[in-house]
């Protein structure tokens, strides 16, 4: 039997908690994710409430989501830990073929900008690929193949972190 998350593209609750912490959450999609988490076996009154929301009010979704995550045993991390969780998710999805290397570079750049250019973003193995988006856009520097290889190498390093 296939994992529901893989077939429905439902993100893990840990990823959603990290996106919430980084203020990069597509709130209109969260109620459907909550419904799929219920299908996966999670349960709780806040999770059921979240699954029943229309998703058109981001404030309402953000108000209920932390309690729903807590019912699933997931805490909303601080910004540093959230960055690491998001980067690990990006790396895993890239290496499994679910995200392109270019999409990873664009996502890393967005995190860097959203975090007000925090140095700890660059300190992550995947952090360096954010600047590669400019190489793709402007056509200077490395070629497409070299850029894709560099992103994949950074993804592998991100997933090998021991600390």
Identify the domain containing residue 109 by its residue range: 79-160
Q: How far apart are CA 121 and CA 103, in angstroms?
A: 17
| Domain end among 21, 48, 71 | 71
| Domain end among 71, 97, 117 | 71
Q: How far apart are CA 76 and CA 70, in angstroms?
A: 8
Model confidence, pTM: 0.82
Do residues 122 and 156 share a domain? Answer: yes
Tens-digit pLDDT profile for residues 106-158: 999 999 998 998 998 999 999 999 889 888 888 788 999 999 999 999 999 99
| Domain end among 42, 71, 100 | 71
Contact 30/55 with Cβ under 8 angstroms? yes
Do residues 123 and 90 share a domain? Answer: yes
Give the chain's length.
163
| Total domains, the chain | 2
Do residues 83 and 65 share a domain? Answer: no
Closest among 60, 55, 62 to 19, alpha carbons compared: 62
Do residues 16 and 53 share a domain? Answer: yes
Q: Which residues contact 10 (CB under 8 A, 6 or more apart)?
A: 4, 33, 36, 37, 40
Closest among 88, 97, 110, 92 to 25, alpha carbons compared: 110
């Amino acid at each position: 039997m296939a994992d529901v998350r893989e077939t429905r593209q439902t993100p893990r609750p840990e990823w959603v908690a990290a996106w919430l912490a980084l203020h990069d959450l597509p709130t209109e999609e969260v109620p459907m994710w909550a419904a799929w988490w219920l299908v996966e076996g999670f349960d709780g009154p806040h999770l059921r409430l979240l699954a029943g929301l229309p998703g058109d009010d981001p404030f309402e979704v953000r108000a209920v989501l932390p309690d729903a995550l807590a019912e699933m045993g997931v805490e909303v991390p601080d910004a540093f830990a959230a960055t690491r969780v998001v980067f690990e998710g990006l790396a895993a999805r890239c290496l499994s073929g679910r995200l392109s290397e270019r999409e990873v570079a664009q996502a890393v750049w967005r995190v860097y900008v959203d975090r007000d250019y925090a140095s700890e973003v660059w300190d992550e193995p995947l952090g360096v690929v954010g600047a590669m988006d400019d190489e793709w856009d402007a056509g200077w520097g490395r070629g497409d193949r070299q850029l894709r290889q560099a992103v994949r190498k950074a993804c592998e390093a991100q997933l090998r972190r021991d600390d």
